[in-house]
Amino acid sequence: IVGVRRFRCFCCGIKRSLRIGAGYSSIGLTIYLNNRNVVAWWAYRKALHIFVRAIT
């Protein structure tokens, strides 16, 4: 039973991470389209890379 609960928490964590990731992606895309700023795009990519490494 404990294992099942842990597995469900793990699944919820993945879902939340994906939702946060989607949010970051849309924000990053908006910034990119608004500015067309290379620095902003680079910073966004770097933040996304850190975010992905934090999940995995």
pLDDT digits (tens, 9 = 90+) for 1-50: 567 777 777 778 888 888 888 888 888 778 777 766 677 777 888 888 88
Q: What is the pLDDT of residue 35?
A: 66
The one-letter amino acid at 10: F
What is the C-alpha to C-alpha distance for residues 18 and 36, in angstroms, rounded to an integer?
25
pLDDT at 1: 57
State yes or no: pLDDT of 55 exceeds 60.
yes
Q: Which residue has the tokens 């946060």?
A: 20
Give me the number of domains the chain comprises: 1
pLDDT at site 4: 73
Q: How far apart are CA 30 and CA 41, in angstroms?
A: 10
Q: How far apart are CA 24 and CA 52, in angstroms?
A: 11
In a domain, 4, yes or no: no
For 24, the domain range is 12-55
CB 25 within 8 A of CB 47: no
**Residue 5 resides in a domain:** no
6 within domain boundaries? no
